[in-house]
Structure 1
Amino acid sequence: MNKKAKKGVLLVQLGTPDAPATSDVRRYLTEFLMDGRVMDIPYMGRTLLVKGVIVPRRAQNSATTYKTIWDENTGSPLMYYSLLQRDMLQEQLGEEYHVELAMRYQNPSIESALRKMEGMFLESIKVVPLFPQYASATTGSVIEKVMEIMRKWQYFPNVSFVNSYCQDEDMVAVFAENGKKHNIDEFDHILFSYHGLPVRQLGKVDPTGQLHCPDSGCETCKVELNSFCYLSQCYATTRAITSKLGLAADRFTVCFQSRLGKTPWIQPYTSDVLHDLAQKGVKKLLVFSPAFVADCIETLDEIQVEYADEFKALGGEEVVMVESLNGNPKWINTLKRLVLSN
């Protein structure tokens, strides 16, 4: 514990199983999918679907996948990079601050992290969800959980939340620089693949129903129209990165991965885009994943293995993933600035 600390910072990442074993993956998936902001259907239906269908079918296969990305020394890549970001930010902020890391699902839990901070009698706590684009299922869920836990405290420090930073210049610069590590001109096309969401969740962000958002979004959607629209923030991030790289509009495509279930999700789906590009004779793809600030199962397996194999089976030759922000000092500077800003 940093005894001199007066201010607290809580970094919150999505989560990871404690180990790549079926039992650990089952616990992780259950907690994740039982979140009413993630699986936004009535509780009884959610319970039957998650515990009776999805988790029993997915746990073992997911555990097998986690084993392929698990490092015997450092464990989960997401945990490794998240801890690295915590430690680098702590060094940047100095003794006046105490930085904790929590996972929205599994360990270290938000509750355990806040319990440590409660005993430090901090004058303020800044909560930074590690998701550049706001979504109710990610950032919204983190904020709800923090408020749920802290409402039981007998004293309240000044608490503030970072909602999004989808166009942050330093963050965008890191993604662009990571892309430039590859010879972009050698690739036939560039994908910006974001984690998907059910379409119905887009409309819920506008309780007035006055914005009339399209069913699957519009690439010209601006964050100024609805600053909490996940889709518009994804396009805003893409515009910022492609502008930095000087990419023409016909050189890239925005798409959405990780679809679960049969209900409509944000389109186009990454898998469908792979099929379309392969039919057009595209052979080499470069893929950015700007929804993730640390490499994880979605980047290291879903893109680098699953989608790469799918694309090659369709006649493509190569899928190259641009590394995430991980421990880049410019990304840590972004976090520091978010903490210090009002």
Structure 2
Amino acid sequence: MRKSPSVPFLIICASPFLIILTVALSILYGTKGIDASTIWQAIVHFDSTNVDHNIIMQSRLPRVLAALLVGAFLAISGAIMQGMTRNYLASPSIMGVTDGSAFVITICMIFFPAMSNIHMIMFSMIGSALGAGIVFGFGSIMRNGLSPVRLAIIGTVIGTFLSSLSSVLATHFQISQDLTFWYNAKIHKVDPDILLLALPIGLTGLVLALIISKSITILSLGDDISISLGQRTKWVKAISIIIVICLTGTAVALVGKIGFVGLIIPHITRFIVGIDYRFVIPCSAIIGGIFLALSDVASRFINFPFETPVGVVTALIGVPFFLYLIRTRGGERRA
């Protein structure tokens, strides 16, 4: 379905205003209310002795920036996976990518508890590759295993297995509390240092995704058409997988496991801007970042004044959406 090219340009042009508004909302609202003048003073005249200034600069600002980055990373990864595989049920959380990252990080927390931030990101990427490799490996050796619904089932089973194995290891080595905190509360305790490391990785992934976006559009038409148009499909798929591994691995290292962003946002984006991935990828990044940041704001009020994991909010939206896709489309792309 073709959309007017003015729509994606409108989203991109409006994105600075929308992001600033989202950042303001995230900083303003929480357990402790903060007024707009205090935010401005904290930015232009930071006072280390002021409690509100410290909350803004050391907690809420890094938190919303992490949510924007992670939402963008997961949305781009989901868009690439869906375009590359022609499977509209594909996403990092369903295809075992995030669970693979979390599994390897659990092992690292057991055996390398003092690992540096850069090592955490690297190991998380290795875990992403492991999870994706296991899921697609099983899919390739099973009859009809690469069909959308079967691959989603395999991904869910493998992801659940890896998650359960992580829990068993955490219980055995007595790090369950640390692991639970890391899974459920990481977004509001994000480390600014790892955030700085994640930024160049994310920008690199976004640039690479934009470079191959036209190729992904062609690939989404099917391998036969791609090959007939002279596209080197294996190279495009290899680069796509590397981008997904880097972005998802970094996202998990930043804030832990957050599901369904990579499933929901590409569908919403394609509905708005069409199927040209030159527009889908940047618009997915914008919409995904804002979606996760606003979900994080909503998570603060579900059980106020206590925090609810942001993954609960994304799951409340994502699970019905996932079931709707299975029922109406079976994950198959329809013209």
Bucket of the pairwise TM-score, normalised by the shorter protein: under 0.3
Query: Which structure's residues are more often strand, by fraction?
Result: 1
The higher relative CO (CA closer than 8 Å, separation ≥ 6) is in 2
TM-score scaled by structure 1? 0.24
Query: Which structure's residues are more often helix, by fraction?
Result: 2
TM-score scaled by structure 2? 0.24
